[in-house]
Structure 1
């Protein structure tokens, strides 16, 4: 499982101009079963994504297709961890 953090590198006006395209990209990752949870940081300086089900290399290749990344609007950090315990209903997250 992966925790991905995004930190915005551009003014909010530039982020908001690409937000719909980014959200469509995020929706596609959910549709394919890759993303487990996602959302903005508070305050809105970036975001967090939880991802599972792909090797790191494939995940990083997917992240390269995010409109925020393609337009150099956000910096990404990918951290891998091995969940040893999960809440009921989230067993698929244990690798």
Structure 2
């Protein structure tokens, strides 16, 4: 499992221009089963995506297709973690990791 931390590197006005495309990107990866949860940071300096992927390389490939990445709106930090405790409702994601 991976935490993808996005940090905006441009104005919020510029970020807003790409939100519809970014949301389409997110929807595509929710449908594919790659993303579990996502949302913006508070204060609004970026966002977080919780991803279920086989490898960091797979996550990097996915990110390269994000409009925020393509248009250089955000920097990305990828943190891999191995869940050792989790809510039973997340069992599906953990067992398929």
- Give the TM-score, by structure 2 length: 0.93
Aligned: 1:78 with 2:78: yes
Say if 1:38 and 1:47, in contact at 8 Å, map to a contact too: yes
Which 4+ residue blocks in structure 1 deviate beyond 3 angstroms? none
Say if 1:86 and 1:93, in contact at 8 Å, map to a contact too: no
Question: Counterparts of 1:31-42 in structure 2 under 5 Å?
Answer: 31-42=31-42
Distance in 2 separating the partners of 1:18 and 1:83: 32
Tell me which residue corresponds to 1:68.
Answer: 68
Query: Cα RMSD between the aligned structures?
Result: 1.0
Q: What is the number of residues matched between the two proteins?
A: 95
Unaligned runs of 5+ in 1: none
